[in-house]
Amino acid sequence: MTITMPTTTVEGIQLTVTPFRPDAVIGTMGLPTLLQLVPSPRGEEDKRALKYASGAVRRHAEVRGLVQRMLKTSQKGRNVSSYASYIAAGIGGGHGAAWSTPPITLWLDGQPGAVSEELIAGSGIRTITVLPGAPVVAIDGETQVAAWHELFDNPERFGTTYEKLSSVRLPFELYFGLSVEDARQIFYDRNVEGVPVAKNLAMSMDQRDIGTQLAHRVAATVKVEHDGKIIPFGKLVQSRKRQLTKADPEVVTLSALRVLVITALHGRGGLGLSSATVHEGELPEGVSAEQAERELVPLLSQLIGQLFPHFEARDAVSAPAVLAGLGIAAHQATSWASGGTRLNTEELLRLVEPVRFEREARYWDGVAASANAAGTLNFGGGAKDSGGRVADALLGPDTDYGRKVRGW
């Protein structure tokens, strides 16, 4: 007696998806499913471990190598643990609602084992089945995949639990039936064709960055008279762009205002942090976030209030290099300033008051900017290049730079 074998049942990992083109679908899956579907990139780069891995894992590593770069030799490899920490904090509620991970882009080398009929007529929603051992590679979002593996391998290290991780659902898009060449092209397009966000603009959007937080506080605190009305200075701060154009109604960018805050916080050491994220744990030694806010907000508010006519006139004061120098000078009026001549608020304002902030070469050429043959200034050097010279000029009125910027 013989038993007839089933011919229509296809076993494998089943995903509920919606197609957005004939060879690509989107959906969500649980974290354990992702980890089963896509092996650890770190594990596949461990030659010793790979030697004893299953044939399916070795085959996957070969396919991955055709469309992905190595973790070990790239910046993304160094980012895995920090990304895992970020994700764990988000899962644990440490970021509130202000956190996100992008959908992971997957490529199935081959076709799904099965595709169902529509689950709801007209919706396009179906299930597809990925056969056991079929190589699925993350062609975009692999750092995130590696971070999820690291989290699941040792959740206690990151302050989370298996129970919390097992309840996570992740958005994904899955391409299938594409050649290796097509998959590599998608990898290129995702990593090169998009216009990256300028780093200091991205910093100005980071609400966990202490510099951004304080810049917002200062901008909201200062009240200025503009067009016959008393308004918060924040209404004149451009937060979406890195540079102002003549048509913009704002008078300074948020990223430039952040430079003022960071240098006031750290002094000259802040020049190296002007394009780096600064969290509360990176405040000067012995300074709490509350103390930094308590001292810097009124100090910088008075400084901006005194200089507002120059901001309104779009003078040199709005240039990041000049704001960096002002911040370094303001640092000398903080209680945590170390080295240099200590100042109080009144002394700082008196030092700054005679400075000629007009955008003219006779004041700023060679200090915060460079002038062409026609005398037109270019402030493109930025805070790191010129902020120190501006600080020297502001703090040393009797120096060559000090006399130059004051027109003496």
**Which pTM value belongs to this model?**
0.69
Residue 160 within a domain: yes
Could you tell me the residue range of the domain that residue 391 belongs to? 201-406
Residues 263 and 391 in one domain: yes
Residue 17 within a domain: yes
Residue 311 within a domain: yes
User: In the predicted model, what is the mean pLDDT of residues 120-129?
Assistant: 93
User: In the predicted model, what is the mean pLDDT of residues 348-353?
Assistant: 95
Residue scoring higher pLDDT (374 or 404): 404
Residues 54 and 20 in one domain: yes
Residue 6 within a domain: no
Q: Quick one: tokens of 8?
A: 């229509």
Owner of token pair 């990139």: 41
**Alpha-carbon span 308 to 327, nearest angstrom:** 15
State which of 169, 194, 219 marks the end of a domain: 194
State which of 147, 173, 194 marks the end of a domain: 194
User: In the predicted model, what is the mean pLDDT of residues 158-169?
Assistant: 95
What's at 78, amino acid-wise?
R
State which of 179, 194, 209 marks the end of a domain: 194
pLDDT of 38: 94
User: In the predicted model, what is the mean pLDDT of residues 249-278?
Assistant: 90
Residue 4 within a domain: no
Q: Quick one: tokens of 101?
A: 């991970």
Give strand pairing partners of 129.
14, 114
pLDDT greater than 70 at residue 196: no
Residues 87 and 212 in one domain: no
End-to-end CA distance of the chain: 110
**Alpha-carbon span 408 to 402, nearest angstrom:** 9
Domain count, the chain: 2
**Alpha-carbon span 343 to 26, nearest angstrom:** 60
